[in-house]
Each structure stands twice: as structure tokens, then as C-alpha cells.
Structure 1
Amino acid sequence: MPCKVVLAAEVASNFTEEIKTEVSQRSVKPKLVGFLANDDPYATKYAQSSSKHLAEAGLQFELRQVPRESLEAEIAAANTDPSVSGILVYYPVYNDERDQKLQDLVDPTKDVEGLNVVYNGKLYSNDRFLDDQQTRKAILPCTPLAVVKVLDHIGVYDHSLPYGDHLRGKTIAVVNRSEVVGRPLAALLANDGAKVFSIDINDILIFQRDPSASINSHTTTTTDFKPEDVIPLCDVVITGVPSAGYKMPTSLLKPGVVAVNFASVRNFEPEVKEVSSIYVPSVGKVTVSMLQRNLLRLFNYQQ
């Protein structure tokens, strides 16, 4: 069977009209402030894309380019500014533990990326709600959520299985373990029942929920595996390596694999289409849709 190439625009279209309709019904439009404090060309590209797509949806966007030494004060000011509905910081800023501190400085009521410690705790414990009445959902990070939406769109999620087990029986590799995307994505997939090989430059971890454990529990296990040991076992391979020099060897891929790339560069070789059943070359437009949804959700919570 020939490979089906699924573009992010196709998946994002499922959300675009819903978002535009909701925004058009509001006299006050939510406003997102983005802070760019690095010279990463991919962050700049994401900022430009954010601006374009938010405007198309009728949402307000203001990009503030600031020295990273001023970023803490700028975040604090935006936290208390009633005209600001959401805050987005383009990472990496320092590319070390200081970035986590910045993430925790963002007021959870304005954190569109869901990277604050409050949302991190919810994500890793698989607690989807902020309140006991379950009326307010926690905010999930945009790119991991975008990958989940892509997998759901292409049929990887099996909704005939019980909630929390929609990925039962699936083995998935995530080639990236950043705190912003790769690690939370592995946790989300494990929380939904998958066995996840989280592949980093130094090691491979297994994220998996014990079938006998609570739906809110998944474990992380250290292994001595190498990529060539685990990639051939995987039904889905998800890549997110921010380097043009990295390519996932097609020879390692299982025939019929689902291949998804969320990096800003192509991580799969052109031959991937000869092996995979479905290939998703990027998720960027879905990420922007999730950003818009998170902004609207926070705006509604603030009313």
C-alpha cells in the first residue's frame, strides 16, 4: 500500500473554523504577548508564524523582543497587565535550568504553553482538570498536544478502547526529550496507554503505565538500549531533533510504520515514504491551532 502523506494544514482545518467562530462572537479579543529573547532563527520563524495565524483568527498578538537579562521583569509586568490574556516565551532562552525558572514565573492563568509547574504537575500525574468540579481543563503544551491531535486524526488512537487506554498495544518512539516537547509528549502518550521509548542523545528511557496501576500513574525506566534496538519495534516513530544534520535511518523503520516529524527541519530521509504507511512531515500549523485554543481557554477562565 502506498504511503499517505498527511499535511499539518489538513489536521489544523478541523479547529480553524471553530476558533474563528468563537473569536468572532466576542467584542473583546484575547491578546497574546510573545517574548523573544534569543537569536534562534527557528524561534523567530515560529514568532512570525504565530503572528500571521493569530491575526487570521481575529486574535491580538504583540511580539516583544527583549534582552534575556530583562525577561524576568518583562514577564512579571505582563502577569499583572489586565490587557494581556496570554503569555508565550520562545525557548530556549538560556538552554539550561534557568529556562525552567522562567517557565514557572509565568502566571498559570496566562500560560498558553502549559509549561508552568502547576500544569507540569497535572500533565505528569494525568490529572486533566484544574478544579474538583471538572469544569476547567488544565493547559497542555502546544506542540505535544499538536502531535496527539495528529495521531488521533490519522487513526492511531483507538476510541473503541476505554478512556486512558486509547493507545493500548502501541509501541512508540519519541526522538527528543526536551522539557518543552519531548518529555511531556512521552508522558502524554504513556498516559494514554502506549509503551514509549524516549530517545535522547545520552540514553533511552521507557515511559509506560503499569496495566494494574491507577490511570494516573506511569513509570519511567532507564535502559541500556540503543536506537537500533528499539526503532524496529515501533508502530509509530516521532522525531523532533533540531538539527539539519540528523536523519532517522530508513533502514531501521518497521514496514508500515507511522512517521511523524515535529522538528523545524526534516528528520526523516526521503525514502521514508517507501516504508511508512503514513508520513506527517511537520505539525507546525497544528501547534499554532493548539496555541489559539489554549489562549481562548485561558481568556474564558479569566472572565
Structure 2
Amino acid sequence: MADKPNCKVVLANNIAKSLLREVQDGLQKIGRKPLLVGFLSSSDPAAKVYAEWTGKTAKENGFEFELREIDRELLEDALLDANNDPRVDGIIVYYPIFGNRQDQYLQQIVSIDKDVEGLSHKYVFNMYQNIRFVDDANLKKSILPCTPLAVIKILEYLRIYNTILAYGNRLHGRTITVINRSEVVGRPLAALLANDGAQVYSVDINDVQEFTRGEGLRKKRHEVSEKPGWNINDCLPLSDVVISGVPGDKYKVPLEKLKEGAVCINFSSERNFTPEVKEKASIYVPAIGKVTIVVLLRNLLNKIDATTEPSSEKATQEKAAQTTA
């Protein structure tokens, strides 16, 4: 079946290129190659691929990268050593490892000064509370988790964010469905989108929750309400944007309920949308992995920038140019 000409398929590589220019500008200001260390203690094939992509993208773009494959029983000590190593600028750990609360513990082992994934408690707290900076002067940005931030950067690239509106309100009037409520991606993404003004339906296997800042964006941060009796079929006809990240190859978004002209983004390693999505969607992004890695490098640069005290002139400029992430 031929693709309908009104559906634009946007590849992650094209979006990543625009972000890489920003990364290159940041590297020139630093004047050295930052060292990112990745820890692989997982047999998950997707984690291995992500690690390889990270290393390739980092090295191609002027960063140093070391992949350390560590037995999971030795990982805690290895992380503590990296925390104390002045050569190491950033740390990424490829999850899942134990697949339980021990993974959450390991996330807190990584020093907040070297956490480029936004998994430290302080960053998670700030994200859900819609606190965008870690200092009172609003100069040091709070680090956001890479995959949710990659989706946000894609939405900005696609002009889903309305740049006429004030920062923090630029998704006002948008209705978005996020299919996935994992603690790593789905729930943070729903919170971030709602904090930027969207009405978000968070769809899990058992229920639907609504994330919103209230009528007229009255709230400073999002609140969550249950939608009793709702399922994916209730959300899709209302949604301007549908973002899906269900793991595995069995789940497919029910396209018959999809709103005509919706924007569809897939962040699962498998395709959650069948090819027929192009018959109804206006824009389709089939994968986001390359954007996620560039966002990781961007987070690393933000960490390094935050360790240097800006001049008063630069501080004034940065504060005037606050961005959504």
C-alpha cells in the first residue's frame, strides 16, 4: 500500500543533527574532551546496543567514552570508584541489571555531580515538582532523564510546542496520550508534558490517569487524577499527539481509534505502530534512539557548565535565555 503524501515520516537522525550543533558549540566553550563512562552489567541486548551507540556517537562528536563491563555484584564499588575519579565527568549505567529495587538503589549511588541521566533523587524531585533549576539564581539547570527529554526535543523540533506562549506553558491546548507508565520513561514523560501545559492521558495495562495543571494552567505543577473505566480507546480520539513505548513486539496501537492528523512517536525498541499509521497520522517518528544519545551528551555538557562559575554578564544572558529543559 502506497504511503499517503500527507504523512511526513521524520527520522531521529535528522532531529539529532540540529541538537548536535548545539552540543558542538558547548564543546568549543569547554575546550577539552569530556569523559563519559558507561557501565554495562546487563545481558539485555537492547542495553548492549544502546551502549555501543552511545560510544560511537560520543567519540564521533569530540567526547571521550569508556565502556566498563562489570559483573553486577561488583558494580556498586565500581560506581563509587568512578564518583571519586576526577577524570570522569559523567556516568551512565545501562539498566535493567537486577530488575528490582536494587536498580533503584544503584541509581542513587551515582554522584549527583556526575549523574547525566537525571536519576538522582534531587533531580527526580525537581522534575515532578516542576522545579527547573538547582540553584536560587536559576543558572544551573536540573538534569532531566534522557528518553523523556529526547521526546520533548522531538516535539519542539516538530513545532508542537507553541513558541509564542511563555516558557512552561507552551503545550497549553495540546492533548497527548503516553502509552507506557514506567518509572524510567512513561511517568516522567507524562509529568514533564503536563508541567509544560498539556493535558496528558497516561495509559498503562490496567488503567488511565490524567496529568494536568488544572483549568487555565492554575497549578504550578501537574496533578494526577484517575479515569475510572477508561482505556486506550477513550484517549486516542481526543489526542493531538500519541507517544508509545510498550516493550516487546506484540503490542500495537489500535489505529482505528486514532485521531485524523495526529502526531505519532514511537520510543519502544519495537514498533508499536503498524505501517498503516501513515494513512491517518500527519507526522510519524518511528524511533528516537539517536536523539536520546545526543540528549545524553547535552546533559553531560550542562553538568560541566554548572561546575564553572559564570561571569556576571554571562549569568545575566543565561537567565534571560531560560529554556524548557
Shorter-normalised TM range: over 0.9
C-alpha contact (below 8 Å) 1:204/1:223 kept by paired residues: yes
* Distance apart, 1:226 and its partner CA: 1.1
8 Å CA contact retained: 2:265, 2:287: yes
Tell me, yes or no, if structure 1 residue 240 matches structure 2 residue 245. yes
Q: Please state whether the residue corresponding to 1:198 is helix, strand or coil.
A: strand
Matched, 1:217 2:242: no
- The residue matched to 2:275 in structure 1 has which SS? coil
Question: Which residue matches 1:287?
Answer: 292
Deviation per residue, 1:213-271 (Å, 9 max, x gap): 66532111122211112122111100111211111121121110100011111110110
* Offset at residue 100 of structure 1 (A): 1.6
* Match in the other structure for 1:40: 44
Tell me which amino acid in the other structure corresponds to 1:87. I
Q: Is the 8 A contact 1:23 1:57 kept in 2?
A: no
Bigger Cα displacement from structure 2, 293-302 vs 125-134: 293-302
State how far apart, in whole Å, the 2-side matches of 1:3 and 1:238 are.
16
Does the CA contact (< 8 Å) of 2:197 and 2:217 recur in 1?
no
**Segment of structure 1 superposing worse, 64-73 or 232-241:** 64-73
Out of 147-156 and 9-18, give the one that drifted further: 9-18
Residue identity (%): 50
Among 249, 272, 282, which residue is 2:254 paired with? 249
Aligned-pair distance for 1:28? 3.1
Q: Secondary structure, in 3 states, of the residue corresponding to 1:110?
A: coil
2:181 corresponds to 1:181: no
Deviation of 1:161 after TM superposition, in Å, equals: 2.0
Cα distance in 2 for residues equivalent to 1:157 and 1:27: 33
Matched to 1:191, the amino acid is: N
Shift of 1:76: 1.1
Alpha-carbon offset, residue 27 of structure 1: 4.5
Contact 1:34-1:89 at 8 Å conserved across structures: yes
Q: Determine the structure 2 residue equivalent to 1:76.
A: 80
Following TM superposition, the consecutive aligned residue runs of length 4 or more in structure 1 with deviations greater than 6 angstroms are none
The 2-side partners of 1:248 and 1:81 are apart by 46
Is 1:62 paired with 2:66?
A: yes
Contact 1:254 1:275 in 2 (8 A): yes
CA distance in structure 1 between the partners assigned to 2:6 and 2:123 by the alignment: 40
1:113-151 superposed Cα distances (whole Å, 9 cap, x missing partner): 001101001111111101001111111111111100101
TM-score relative to the length of structure 1? 0.96
* 1:95 lines up with 2:99 in the alignment: yes
Task: Answer yes or no: is the 8 Å Cα contact 1:249–1:269 preserved in 2.
Answer: no
Over the aligned positions, Cα root-mean-square deviation in angstroms equals 1.5
Q: Distance in 1 between matches of 2:25 and 2:134?
A: 26
Helix, strand or coil at the partner of 1:163: coil
| Cα separation, partners in 2 of 1:175 and 1:302, compared to 1, 3 Å | same
The one-letter amino acid of 2:166's match is P
Q: Aligned partners of 2:17 and 2:297: how far apart in 1? A: 13
For this pair of structures, how many residues does the alignment match?
Answer: 303
Instruction: Indicate conservation of the 8 Å contact 1:164/1:215, yes or no.
Output: no
SS in 1 for 2:264: strand
Corresponding letter in the other structure for 1:76: L
Give the C-alpha shift of residue 205 in structure 1.
Answer: 1.2
Q: What is the alpha-carbon distance in structure 2 between the residues aligned to residue 293 and residue 189 of structure 1?
A: 20
Partner of 1:18: 22
Q: 1:194 aligns with which of 192, 198, 205?
A: 198
| Range that drifts further, 122-131 or 209-218 | 209-218
Contact 2:245 2:268 in 1 (8 A): yes
CA distance in 2, matches of 1:194, 1:300: 30
Within 1, Cα distance between the matches of 2:223 and 2:98? Answer: 29
- Indicate which of 107, 112, 124 corresponds to 1:108: 112
